[in-house]
Structure 1
Amino acid sequence: MKKILVAVKRVIDYNARIRVKPDKSGVEMTNVKMSMNPFCEIAVEEALRLREKKLAEEVLAVSLGPKACQDQLRTALAMGADRGIHVLTDVELQPLAVAKLLAKITEKEAPDLLMLGKQAIDDDQNQTGQMLAALLRWPQATFASKVEIDAAQRQAVVTREIDGGLETLRLRLPAVVTTDLRLNEPRYATLPNIMKAKKKPIQQLTPEDLGVDVTPRLQTVRVEEPPKRKGGIMVSSIEELVDKLKNEAKVL
C-alpha cells in the first residue's frame, strides 16, 4: 500500500462533564475541553503501526469542521501522521455530509485504505464509515479488533466484534475499515514529535472546493439529560423481591 487515509474528529473530551443548554437546544460547548475522538485515535494508531511494518508509505490525517479542528490534526501529526487535510466549515456536519466530503478527498488522494473510528462519542451515530463505503462502492469491515494486510494479494484480513463473538472478513483493497476499542492502545505524542508536527503540512479546503452541499438534513428538536437514577432499596425476603418486581417494576 502507498497511502492510508484516517479521519479525525474533534469532540468534547470524554472526561468532561456534559451539560445541556438551558433552552434544550443542544450541549453546552463554551469553555469545555475538546480532544480527538477516542475511536479516531485508535484508527490513527493502527495506520501508524501498518506504516511501521512497511505495509504503507504514508499516513494522511483528515479533519472536517471549524478552525479549531487543526488542534486535533496536529495531535495526529504529533503521533506520527505525515500530513493533514482540513476541510474548513462552521456548519454542523452530519454523517452523510462527512461521508460525501471524505469520498471527494478519497477521489483526489487515491488511498489504498480508509480507517475511521467506528463512531464518535458526541453523537454515537455509527454511520459515516458505512455511508462512505457505499458512496465509494468499496468493501467495508466495521468494528475491527484486528487488522492484517496481505500486501502481495492486496487484501485486508479483519477480525470484527459482533454480538455473537468474533467474525473474520477478507477484503480486497481499497477498502474502508472502522476501528473498535480493543484494536490497540494509542501512543502518546512525545514533546519532540509535538514540535515536529508544527512544521508538517496541513492543506486547507472548503466544502465548496470539493463541490459538496453540507446543509444539515436533520433537525435537533430537543436535548435532555437522562433521568437521575432513584436510590435502591433493601428487601427482607425473596418473596418481597418478587412482589416488587412483579407489581412495582412490572418486569415479571
Structure 2
Amino acid sequence: MAKTATTDPNEMSFLDHLEELRWHLIRSVSAVVIVGSIAFLMREFIFDTVLFGPKKMDFPTYRLFCNIATYFGYDSDFCADELPFTIQSRLMSGQFSAHIWTSIWAGFIVGFPYVLYEMWKFISPGLYEKERRNSRGFIVVASLLFFMGALFGYYVVAPLSINFLGTYQVSAEVTNEFDLSSYVASVRTSVIACGLIFELPIIVYFLTKVGLVTPEILKKYRKISLVVVLILSAVITPPDVTSQIVVAVPILILYQVSIFISRQVLKKESKKAKKKGTGVTTG
C-alpha cells in the first residue's frame, strides 16, 4: 500500500486506479460498518429518542410552532396531546431488519466526513498542488453543509411531514396504522435528502471549475428553480403556506449562495488567465 500511495498518479495504469479506488471504498465501508455497529448497540437511543422523537408532541419543533400559534391567538394541531397514529411491524423480520438498516444509515450519516475524506484522497492526486491548497477546507465545509441539511431535515421537514400525514384522514372510518419500515423511511429520506441538497454550493463550485456551470446559467434558470423548490416544498410539507416557506427559504438561499460562489470562481479563473498572459476575457 505504501508503494501505491507514493506512485505518481500520471504513471498509474487503469488497473492501478481501480485498485486504489477499491481500497478507498473498503475503508469507507469499514468506517460506516464500525459506526453502524456502535449505533446498533444504542438501540434505545436511536429508536426511542431519535427516530420516534418527531412522533411525540413534546418535540422541539412542535413546541415552537405551538407557541407561535398561541402567541397570535390561533388554534394549532401542533398543540395536540399526541399524534393520532400507531406504528406497527407486519413482518416477522420487520423490527430486526429496521434495526439493521437504521444502524447502517446512522453509520453513513455520522461517518459522512470520513467517507468524504476517502473520496478526496482518491481525487486529490489528480489535481495541481495549488488546486489542492485552495481546496483544503473542502471536507470541513462539505461536512458542515451536510450536517446542517441533516438537522434541517430532522427538525423541520420530518416533523412537518409526520404531523400532516399522521393526522390526515379521508374518513373517520379509517385509522392510521403505519408500518415501521414506512415511518423509518420517511424520517431517513427527510434527513439524508436535505443533507445532500445542502451540498448544492459545493456541487456548483466544482461544476463551475470544470466549465459546466456559470452564474449566467444559474440566473437564467432561477425562476424555474423557484417553481421547482415550491413544488418540492409542497410535496414534502403540509399544504399550508407557512410550512412551505419554512422549507423553501433555506433552499433558495443556498441557490443564491451558489450563484455567488460560481461568480467568485470565474473571477479567480479570469485573474489566473490574465497573469499567464493568455488574453482570456470574461463576458
Tell whether the structures are fold-level matches, with TM greater than 0.5.
no
Please, what TM-score do these two structures have when normalized by structure 2?
Answer: 0.23
From the CA coordinates, give the structure whose radius of gyration is larger. Answer: 2
Greater RCO structure (CA 8 Å; 6+ sep): 1
Please, what TM-score do these two structures have when normalized by structure 1?
Answer: 0.25
Q: Report the structure, 1 or 2, having the larger strand content.
A: 1
